[in-house]
Structure 1
Amino acid sequence: MVRFSVTAPDDLLRRFDEQIARRGDVANRSEAVRDLIRASIAKEQMRTPDEHVIGSLTMIYDHHTGDLTRRLDEVQHDYTDEIVSTMHVHLDHHNCLEILALKGRGERVYELADRLLGLRGVKHGELTCAATKQSLGL
């Protein structure tokens, strides 16, 4: 085993501990983190870089974080062939929800999602691929 530390805001850690307690099947915080790591690895293995995929990317971010809005736009302009549509919603004075409908070769779609979700200021995000070329007959 390797020991490492993680820094997290008090309220986030409190909510995580509450989730662990509700599940009841996790012995401790370390096991819960290991479960998250295993789930992340499994999700990564399901990527289909050589297949045609369609999906959606959902992001919640604080548009007051540095020049995040400009950086989001710059990345999206590099993937105009993959972005079918976008929807932008102002949640409150600081937070925005952005949803991108995506279509294209898996490698490019996953690359786009990784670049956007890796930007500082993106609080939450998830890529969901709904179908591949074979399942839709595209």
Structure 2
Amino acid sequence: MQLSRQISLVKPLRHPVNRISISLPDELQVALDGMVNERGYESRSQAINDMLRQQLIEHKRQTSDELLVGTITILYDNGTRGLQEKIADLQYHHLDEVISSLHVNLVGKQTMEVMLVQGPASRVQTIADEVITLRGVITGKLQLLAALMPPIHS
């Protein structure tokens, strides 16, 4: 009897949800349903939640200095003289925000580098801008998430 009582008390953790209703033009609903199926979302709600989270993070990035975690991903020409040293110097200069980095050599003297960053949104954006605009960087993108890593030291 006690075992069945314990089992009945164990409930999956669920966050409270609110239901809202939205109106969509037919073509937008068809496109949404197609994306839900193609990407493997369980429901329209899950897809819309994901899109809303991304937009809210983008809004925070533009309007607040909230601490966020993310990545700066760049593709660069590793034949550009001094570029790798400039990237390393920039990462060292921003040691508090650049947590880690990984680079992979690709075909055709191209390198992809991913930097794990954390800090105030505007500061991380400034770092991304500094890296992405270096001569020899082909393209780059900052991706932020509304989350934080646990402190390394107490």
Shift of 1:51: 1.0
Which residue matches 2:95?
80
Q: Which protein is richer in strand relative to its size? A: 1
Distance, in Å, in 1 between the alignment partners of 2:75 and 2:112 is 5
Shift of 1:93: 4.6
Secondary structure of 1:81 counterpart? coil
Shift of 1:54: 0.8
Which residue matches 2:139?
124
Task: Give 2:95's aligned amino acid.
Answer: T
Secondary structure of 2:84 counterpart? helix
1:113 and 2:128 aligned: yes
Which residue matches 2:114?
99
Distance, in Å, in 1 between the alignment partners of 2:60 and 2:146 is 16
**Could you tell me which of 56, 67, 78 is aligned with 2:82?**
67
Contact 2:60 2:121 in 1 (8 A): no
Distance, in Å, in 2 between the alignment partners of 1:50 and 1:95 is 33
Contact 1:51 1:132 in 2 (8 A): no
Distance, in Å, in 1 between the alignment partners of 2:86 and 2:127 is 13
Number of equivalenced pairs:
93
Please give the TM-score of this superposition, normalised by the length of structure 1: 0.60
Task: Give 2:145's aligned amino acid.
Answer: A
Contact 2:101 2:116 in 1 (8 A): yes
Please give the TM-score of this superposition, normalised by the length of structure 2: 0.54
Task: Give 2:66's aligned amino acid.
Answer: E
Q: 1:132 to 1:51 in 2, by over 3 A?
A: farther
Task: Give 2:111's aligned amino acid.
Answer: C
CA deviations 1:30-61 (Å, max 9, x no partner) are: xxxxxxxxxxxxx7995245111111110000
Distance, in Å, in 2 between the alignment partners of 1:113 and 1:70 is 16
Secondary structure of 2:107 counterpart? coil
Distance, in Å, in 1 between the alignment partners of 2:64 and 2:90 is 19
Larger gyration radius, structure 1 or structure 2: 2
Q: Which runs of 4+ in 1 moved over 6 A?
A: none
Contact 1:49 1:110 in 2 (8 A): no
Output the aligned Cα RMSD.
Answer: 2.4
What residue ranges of structure 2 are gaps of 5+ in the alignment? 1-57
